[in-house]
Structure formats: C-alpha cells, structure tokens
C-alpha cells in the first residue's frame, strides 16, 4: 500500500526498472523462455501500477491553514 508521494514515486521507478528488465530480456531469450520468465514480472508491474492508481485516486487530506 502506498501512503506517501515519495512511496508513489518509488513505485513508479520500480515499474520503470522492471519494464527495462523485460525489454532487455526480449533481446536475449527465446519467445518461449521470455513468456515463462516474464509472467511474474508482468504481474508485479500490474500490481504496482494498481497501487499507484489507488493512491492517486484516493482522498487527499490537505492540512488546513491556520
């Protein structure tokens, strides 16, 4: 669960890193091997992107000015 803007930015960086890993893996693995190895990585990307969306659409409580 993402609770802060910093955690959201970190999750975005993680997703970007995982995508880079998959792009490189496509270059060196056979299609069959790539499908097998990419499945858990794609699931991780999907889960993190869902967490990012949930954070961005959650109610934001702004501190009130005094």
More confident residue, 8 or 61: 8
49, HSE (Cβ side, Cα atoms, 13 Å): 11
Which pLDDT tens digit goes with each residue over 22-55? 999 999 999 999 999 999 999 999 999 999 999 9
Instruction: Tell how many helices (H) and how many strands (E) occur in the chain.
Output: 2, 0
Assign 59 a pLDDT band (cuts: 50, 70, 90). Answer: confident
The reply to whether 32 falls in a domain is yes
Q: Containing domain of residue 30, as a range? A: 5-45
Number of domains in the chain: 1
The reply to whether 36 falls in a domain is yes
In this prediction the pTM is 0.82
The reply to whether 50 falls in a domain is no
Let me know: does 14 contact 7? Beta carbons within 8 Å.
no
């Amino acid at each position: 669960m993402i609770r802060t803007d910093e955690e959201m930015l970190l999750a975005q960086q993680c997703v970007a890193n995982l995508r880079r890993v998959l792009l490189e893996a496509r270059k060196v693995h056979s299609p069959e091997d790539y499908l097998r190895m990419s499945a858990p990585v794609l699931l991780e990307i999907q889960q993190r992107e869902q967490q990012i969306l949930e954070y961005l659409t959650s109610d934001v409580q702004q501190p009130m000015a005094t």
